[in-house]
Amino acid sequence: MPKSFSYKTIFVGLALIIVLGMVVNISLGSVHIPFQEVLKILTGQEASKHTWAHIIIQYRLPKAITAILTGFGLSVSGLLMQTLFRNPLAGPFVLGISSGAGLGVALLVMGGSLLGVGIFNSSFSLAIAASLGSFIVLLAILLVARNIRDTMAILIIGLMFGSLTAAVVNILSYFASMEKLQQYVFWNLGSLGNLSWPQVALFVSIIFIGLLCTLFSVKGLNALLLGEQYAISMGVSVKKLRYIIMIATSLLAGSITAFVGPIAFIGLAVPHITRMLLKSSNHFILIPATMLIGGIVMLFCDTVAQLPGSQLTLPINAITSIIGAPMVIWLLLRKRKILL
């Protein structure tokens, strides 16, 4: 493509911003740690206070990585959904895929006590339960939506599935014990912190597999931009493509929902922001750009949520919406056209 040079510049720029954003994110927090100390700790030198080293290495660094992974995964899964359903309003949250993950977690956390079975609540089983939950909801949506051409109907079906899962969760929470309910409620608030390094490693590998699946769908996704029939006529096996996208989305959205909790806005909005900034619909460009911008937005939201200097932390879920929603509205007002 003739524009590839300028895209290269954009990617280098985005990569620099994400590195910069990560350094800023790690340097700021409730506890004031001088920048030189942060650098010392990051480069493996002895810090003047050993709690500082722990805060940086065991808390802020995994949190920053989690933020980036969350941004990567949610925005890419949003992009996949929008192209697959050819619907600019699609996203893991709108389609009930996040609720499906929530149901998986709810069943594991609260259902266990209901059935009188103690299930080991490791982070691994949470991730599997959440991914399975989102996979099942996505499968159900695809099955129901198979014969429906109307994109609004698909959205409504997604919302209905979201409501259904929410209803099941409500019933579960009605019968769950206080401690279990509490565990679920806190999970539902969402948070990027408190992932241990082994959990981060697991998170990284699941996101990596999800993104790898995405890579294999790039070609088909571009064909899908013209519609399903064109895609088939160009030799794309749409069925296979659907399964790859489904697996990728459930891995990405599911694991994120498991490790971080339900995070709004990112999945819906970042793909739009990316399209408007890059003025491209080519997934070869869009996917990496969406990933990077998603990572940057999450880092920024987390930095704000930490309220540097104060002792408090705001829920990340609220921040993503507060920062993100006006951004999308502003972009839409300028462009007046929603594209895929």
Q: Which is nearer to another protein, 131 or 317 (CB)?
A: 317
Closest separation between CB of residue 263 and another protein, Å?
10
CB of residue 18 to another protein, shortest distance in Å: 22
Write out 40-53 in H/E/C secondary structure: HHHCCCCCCCHHHH
What is 235-275 written as a DSSP string? T--HHHHHHHHHHHHHHHHHHHHHHH----SHHHHHHHHHH
Minimum Å gap between C-beta 222 and another protein is 6
Distance CA 266, CA 287 (A): 14
Q: Residue holding tokens 């806005």?
A: 265
Nearer to another protein, 134 or 222 (CB): 222
State how far the Cα of 251 lies from the Cα of 213, in Å rounded to an integer: 10
Render 140-187 in DSSP notation, one character per residue: HHHHHHTT---HHHHHHHHHHHHHHHHHHHHHHHHHS-HHHHHHHHHH
Give the SS3 label for residue 193.
coil
Minimum distance, C-beta of residue 43 to another protein, in the bound complex (Å): 21
Output the smallest distance, CB 87 to another protein, in A: 9
Please, which residue, 16 or 216, has the CB nearer to another protein? 216
Nearer to another protein, 187 or 203 (CB): 187
- What are 316's two structure tokens? 């990340």
321/324 Cα distance (integer angstroms): 5
Q: How far is the CB of 93 from another protein (least distance, A)?
A: 5
Residue 275 token pair? 């399209």
Q: Shortest Cβ distance from residue 17 to another protein (Å)?
A: 22
Q: How far is Cα 317 from Cα 321, in angstroms, rounded to an integer?
A: 7
Compute the least distance from the CB of residue 264 to another protein, in Å: 5
Question: Based on CB atoms, which residue is closest to another protein, 112 or 193?
Answer: 193
Cα atoms in the Cβ-side hemisphere of radius 13 Å centred on 131: 22
Whose Cβ is closer to another protein: residue 136's or residue 155's?
Answer: 155
204 vs 219 by CB, closer to another protein: 219
CA geometry: angle 321, 327, 329, nearest 5 deg? 100
Nearest CB to another protein, comparing residues 17 and 340: 340
